[in-house]
Amino acid sequence: IAILMAYIGLNGLLEGQLQALNIKNDSLTILTTNNTALQPGYIIFISFVLYGLILSTILKFITPHDAH
């Protein structure tokens, strides 16, 4: 969740800064683009974390309580 929130926050900040850089003049035109996107690695990382949490919960239930 923290990665997603950071992405949203930084994306908004970056978009605002890039809008300020857009210059329209008779002799000069600057267009800035923001080509950021959530990459497949983000989805893989979140899947890995959720898998670890689910596996941990399952192992807690099937492990005897007297095991150390």
pLDDT tens digits along 17-28 = 666 766 666 666
Residue 17 structural domain: 2-62
Whether 20 is covered by a domain: the verdict is: yes
Q: pTM for the whole thing?
A: 0.44
Within a domain: 8: yes
Number of domains making up the chain: 1
Report yes or no on 68 lying in a domain. no
At residue 23, what are phi and psi to the nearest 5 degrees?
A: -120, 130
pLDDT at 34: 61
- pLDDT given for residue 49 in this prediction: 93
Q: Do the domain assignments include residue 47?
A: yes
Q: Is residue 67 part of a domain?
A: no
Would the pLDDT of 3 be above 80?
Answer: no
Contact indicator for 32, 22 with CB cutoff of 8 Å? yes
Query: 41 in a domain, yes or no?
Result: yes
Is 46 among the domain residues? Answer: yes
Mean pLDDT of the chain: 76
